Structure 1
Amino acid sequence: MGKALEGIVVLDLTQYEAGPSCTEMLAWLGADVIKIEPPGGEPGRRALSERADLDAWFFLLLNANKKSVTLDLKTERGRAIFERMVGRADVVAENFGPGAIERLGFGYDALRRINPRVIAASVKGFGATGPYAAYKSFEWIAQAMGGVMSLTGMPDGPPLRTEAGLGDTGAGLHCAIGILAALVQRQQTGEGQRVEVAQQDSVLNLVRIHLREHYVTGTPVPRRGNRSVAAGPSNLYRCRPFGPNDYVFVHCATLEMWRTLTRILGRPELGDDPRLADRQKRAEHAPEIDPLIEAWTEKRTKHEAMEALAGVGIPCGAVLDSGEVLS
């Protein structure tokens, strides 16, 4: 069986992470992705580069399965070649700064005149309209403006960024979904369309469940660190030998899980304690419960704790460092 997007041609003008993560996903699905780079290469080739004579891992991890061609769109010859390529393409993707693709002469209206079936996909920080449309953005800007940074961190500390690519790869995945939908719709209409994704909107979508509290209280949702206020116990617990990543996360979502945990802790009477009868009450009593759990986990390694708990149906996960994950 062939791949889903075999025969689909994507002209990839994207750079850094948000755009390339989108087009890489299309390449994994079988599309013929042609990365069009300016003379000297896409700037992401040297971003976070470990060696001056080699492409950076940052670039390689975001551009697998793609072809590449050098084309200077600021020259008449380069633009003429690109126009011919657009005539045979299904998708054109870009994530230049605001207004850049239009200044090159290849905004959506221009692309549509060349090829009415083409899908023009664009990732921007804040979209094409609104008060921030002219502002540039990167990952951390999207996290700040999308709401996740205000939720991340300890209650008595400042907002923190997360290393997960919510603003960049998160936007890229949203854009890929939009492109797939546009390709399906084109089968019905015969026409292309514009697909536009804002990094801010993508982060907001990914964090929307955690903003639900605002709908109830009408006030900003506070930071709470690793502890959940919706279920308990749900927190990060220290393990032997007490290194920087020797922790296990435990999440008891049901009364049955809680009762199982109390038996493991040697405190089965807590499973029938009316003060701890539901997940919300257990979350409220976290200052009482968490030390009991950590006294147990501190006698074990994170993997021993995980095996003991997961083996009896309690959701948990050891905190794996980069070496453990990659191995």
Structure 2
Amino acid sequence: MHLLIGLLAALLHREKTGRGQRVTMSMQDAVLNLCRVKLRDQQRLDKLGYLEEYPQYPNGTFGDAVPRGGNAGGGGQPGWILKCKGWETDPNAYIYFTIQEQNWENTCKAIGKPEWITDPAYSTAHARQPHIFRYFC
């Protein structure tokens, strides 16, 4: 993704100036940018003692370090890795599915739970997080 951003910027530069650019990207640069999420979570864990968007909450315990997220997203929107058709023989037959606010109503209808659309226990991503296993399992 980071390389693509650099390439697109170089293409825009070429469009405006007529001059090309050489684009390089180190893997370390990309990884360091992605580390900010775990750093943010570590700072929140140090302050609060728990992280609501991780599957350990509310029934598990948190140690001194950010736990592994397992199949969860850990980004504030309920998300999980789901098996797709053919998963028994295809190691790539999985999809990561995140339910964002704008998709909640359609998701409820698709899984046969239209009553969750107006249920206060599911009214926001924050409210839905404790119920994550109800709709992903």
Q: TM-score scaled to structure 2, two decimals? A: 0.61
- Inter-partner Cα distance in structure 2 for 1:207 and 1:3: 34
Superposition deviation, residue 246 in structure 1:
1.3
Superposition deviation, residue 206 in structure 1:
2.3
Superposition deviation, residue 208 in structure 1:
0.3
Q: What does 1:136-155 correspond to in 2, within 5 Å?
A: none
Superposition deviation, residue 272 in structure 1:
1.6
What secondary structure, in the 3-state scheme, does the structure 2 residue paired with 1:261 have? helix
- Quick one: which amino acid aligns to residue 125 of structure 2? R
Q: What does 1:147-186 correspond to in 2, within 5 Å?
A: 169-171=26-28, 174=29
- Quick one: which amino acid aligns to residue 223 of structure 1? R
- Inter-partner Cα distance in structure 2 for 1:247 and 1:281: 26
> Are positions 1:215 and 2:48 aligned together?
no
Give the gaps of 5 or more residues in structure 2.
1-13, 47-63
Superposition deviation, residue 223 in structure 1:
0.4
Superposition deviation, residue 237 in structure 1:
0.9
Q: 1:227 aligns with which of 56, 72, 80?
A: 72
Counterpart residue number, 2:23:
25
The structure whose residues are more often strand, as a share, is 1
In the TM superposition, what whole-angstrom CA distance separates every residue of 1:217-236 from its partner, at most 9, and x where no partner exists?
Answer: 2142110112124211x111
Superposition deviation, residue 263 in structure 1:
0.7
- Quick one: which amino acid aligns to residue 246 of structure 1? A
Superposition deviation, residue 261 in structure 1:
0.5
Q: What does 1:1-327 correspond to in 2, within 5 Å?
A: 2-5=18-21, 25-26=23-24, 169-171=26-28, 174=29, 203-218=31-46, 219-229=64-74, 230-232=76-78, 234-242=79-87, 243-254=90-101, 256-291=102-137
Superposition deviation, residue 288 in structure 1:
1.5
- Inter-partner Cα distance in structure 2 for 1:250 and 1:203: 23
Q: Structure 1 residues 204 and 220, CA, compared in 2 at 3 Å: closer, same or farther?
A: farther
- Quick one: which amino acid aligns to residue 217 of structure 1? L
Q: Structure 1 residues 208 and 284, CA, compared in 2 at 3 Å: closer, same or farther?
A: same
- Inter-partner Cα distance in structure 1 for 2:132 and 2:31: 29
Superposition deviation, residue 253 in structure 1:
1.8
- Inter-partner Cα distance in structure 1 for 2:72 and 2:122: 16
- Inter-partner Cα distance in structure 1 for 2:96 and 2:45: 28
Superposition deviation, residue 238 in structure 1:
0.9
Superposition deviation, residue 282 in structure 1:
1.8
Q: TM-score scaled to structure 1, two decimals? A: 0.28
What secondary structure, in the 3-state scheme, does the structure 2 residue paired with 1:220 have? coil
- Inter-partner Cα distance in structure 1 for 2:66 and 2:99: 23
Maintained 8 Å contact 1:228/1:283: no
In the TM superposition, what whole-angstrom CA distance separates every residue of 1:226-257 from its partner, at most 9, and x where no partner exists?
Answer: 2124211x111111122221122211121x31
- Inter-partner Cα distance in structure 2 for 1:258 and 1:268: 10
What secondary structure, in the 3-state scheme, does the structure 1 residue paired with 2:71 have? coil
- Inter-partner Cα distance in structure 2 for 1:245 and 1:4: 37
Aligned identity (percent) is 25
Give the gaps of 5 or more residues in structure 1.
6-23, 27-167, 175-201, 292-327
The structure whose residues are more often helix, as a share, is 2
Superposition deviation, residue 210 in structure 1:
2.9
